[in-house]
Amino acid sequence: MLREFDETDRLTFLKYQTDPRYLQLYDFDQSINRPNELFDLFVRWQHEKPRVNFQLGIFEHSTERLVGCGGLRRLNDDVAVFGIELSPTEWGRFRLAMDASSALVRFGFETLKLKTIVGDTASGNRRVAKLARHFGAEVVATRTGPEWMQARGWEEVDWAITKGAWERAKSLQ
């Protein structure tokens, strides 16, 4: 289930954003400032007119527990950047990520009338690559990533999916 963040979600968001596994993956420090500022930004986006950025909490249906977040951030009228993350306690729940991603991509193409959705990930993040392929995305560029990626022998991978490719992939499922 996707929904807007509200203040009652802050502590759970901060908890997973400061989980040592999460910090190690992204090479973030342990400061609470970064995730607090990020949460504030997501809430501010809810009040923008016109609204161009959407970052929603991913909640487990049965418990309504926050298990991650995902969003679309517009680059222009036709293109948005897709992002998704699960709490480290939820890593490996591919169906959860698939369902949330499906809802976001559908929202982007059908409601926001996007023509293209783009994203980037570390080459070592095989789950995101699998997710992107499922929706018909193609790799459009590979480049040297930040130091934390280089230290792991990874590169940054850019991918894109057009509305037409998404519709074709959807018809094959």
CATH classification of the domain holding 20: 3.40.630.30
The pTM score is 0.89
Predicted confidence at residue 170, as pLDDT, reads: 80
pLDDT for residue 68 is more than 70: yes
Q: Which residue has the higher pLDDT, 131 or 96?
A: 96
The answer to whether the Cα torsion of 159, 163, 4, 38 is positive or negative is positive
Predicted confidence at residue 129, as pLDDT, reads: 79
Q: How many domains does the chain have?
A: 1
E-state strands within 10-155: 53-59, 66-74, 79-86, 116-122, 138-143
Domain encompassing residue 55? 2-172
